[in-house]
Amino acid sequence: MDTFSNLANALLKSLEKTQTHGNHKKIVVDPLVSKVASWYEKLRNAMDYREEEVILRAAIERILKRRIILGGDGKKVAEPLVRELVWARYFADESLSELVIGQIAEKVDLYLRFRNAIIDKKILKEQEANEWMYHLLSSDIEYLLNPQTERELVCNFMYQVMRNNVSITDDSEQNKDVQVFIAVRKAFSKDDLAFLRFHLFTQFFGVMSEEHLDKIIEAFQSGLEEIQAQLSYPRKDRIYTYVKSKTGVFLILDDLLDIYKEGIKQLYLKKEDFNKAVFDICEARYSTISGKVRRAIVRSVLFILLTKVFFAFAVEGTFESLVYGSVSWKSIFLNTGIPPLLMVFASFFLRPPKHDNSKRILGFIKVLLSEQEAKVGNPLIIKKISDKRPFLDAIFTILWLLTYLLSFGGLVYVLSLLNFNPISQGVFLFFVAIVSFLTYRINLMSREYTVEAKQGMFWPIFDFFFMPIVRVGRHLTEGIAQINILLFIFDFIIETPFKGIFGFFEQWFFFLHAKREEL
């Protein structure tokens, strides 16, 4: 009798398939140019706060926008795009085949035709069509260059398990499955909106290709409406929170399969060795949390300094100069200095999971590998609320609004005691809200491998006083990112000539190298 379940066996069989690589000519860049370009990329990424898992896709989108806006097509965009990615060290030198240039060129031309068609048919306005094109194209190109096949297989395995752990009593099975799919993509793969759109697009229409292009364009209107409805599903957050709480198990399983995939069945039969292997992987992952938190704090502080401080100086400094005749450097220093310090201070209270968490992960992994109908903890059952409660809902709404008044009102009262003028108070609240949101994100990162943690006794107090500030910080962080003038300056005024200079010097260095070889 086989030790593993049918689903686990299917996963292992898929993992055993290896991809062969041909001996094609590789893309080579100049090391000096690459060194400078990689530092520029680190600075640019610090200005655009994203999960590490989507930074490459965002870089591809940024390069596509810059080159397509300047009149580029597939032939003009593909090679410079790949070279820029290698310059920035997203890929090692000589790690990409020159064959990908032609493949990317075909994809660029294909998606440009798709964009033009949905604009001509008035399915989307030009700005929306451009956004969809860049999201889909950048995601497609990343999967071409960086497929991560094994991780995708584990992600699909997680979906197959979790879809049987979630039920919605008053909705269709299809909608439930789509919502679990979205939740798994967000929780396990850290997909952003662009990746989610790409995966849903692929699920609805299949892979974008020359043969399917006309059919995709014809059906895009109805598919678009369904995708938008699924992305705005009213119960999506509840499903995502549930799936997120189980993700640590699958992350550890992913590591386990990556290390022992060819001998996992033999290891499983040796109970003590298997247990030790899981515990060792857990401890190794826990030990990386402090490093990830430090990097996140540094990125967050740089993000604030590079994108928000300019705004604060411009608003607060201008107001104080006009109204009071001078700038209050004390309040500006406090406004820009205290919030990041609060973030660093809060990080001291973050703790990695304990051994009990590793035991829970071990138990769940054994269930995942051996049981035909694997259950990761208690299932999620979302029931229809049949009776409306207008009076109670009104009370809850009032109490929720009261939390905003108490949280922000308390801060304003303290700042008034410190003689902050109204604009200085507004800037301080601006920074505190953003820092609170970023700190909350970092806290979630530190709990990435925590499974079925119990809520602490102080969490209700946190929710009451600080969650309003965190929510405002989220809107400020996401909203201002859409109108960040500094990013526009970097992407189109600085980066365009900067990368042109890179290209010139790289060709010059190659020319000098060729001349030296002639000697």
Domain range annotation of the chain: 249-481
Amino acid (one-letter) located at 406? L
Burial class (CB in 10 A: 0-12, 13-18, 19+), 270: exposed
Locate the DSSP E strands across 145-195. Answer: 166-168
Q: Is the pLDDT of residue 518 over 60?
A: no
Place of tokens 């410190």: 418
Phi-psi region of 122 (alpha: psi -120 to 50; beta: other; left: phi over 0): left
Radius of gyration of the chain (CA): 26
C-alpha torsion sign, points 179, 181, 187, 193: negative
- Who contacts 507 (Cβ-Cβ below 8 Å, separation ≥6)? none
CA distance 415 to 422: 9
Residue 97 · residue 25 · CB < 8 Å: yes
Place of tokens 């530190």: 446
Of 96-100, 244-248, 330-334, 423-427, minimum mean pLDDT range: 330-334
Take residue 7 and report the two structure tokens written for it: 């689903």
Per-residue pLDDT tens for 119-153?
A: 999 999 999 999 999 999 999 999 999 988 889 99
Residue 2 · residue 9 · CB < 8 Å: yes
Averaged pLDDT for residues 303-314: 65
Residue 129 · residue 118 · CB < 8 Å: yes
pLDDT of residue 493: 62
Per-residue pLDDT tens for 365-421?
A: 999 998 888 888 888 998 765 445 677 778 877 877 888 888 888 888 888 887 777
Q: Which of 357, 333, 337 is nearest to 345 (CA)?
A: 337
Distances in whole angstroms, Cα of residue 244 to Cα of each of 158, 190, 283: 11, 10, 20
pLDDT of residue 263: 85
- Spacing of C-alpha 247 from chain mean position: 15
Q: Is the pLDDT of residue 47 over 90?
A: no
CA distance 133 to 69: 13
Length of the chain: 519
Q: Is the pLDDT of residue 184 over 90?
A: yes
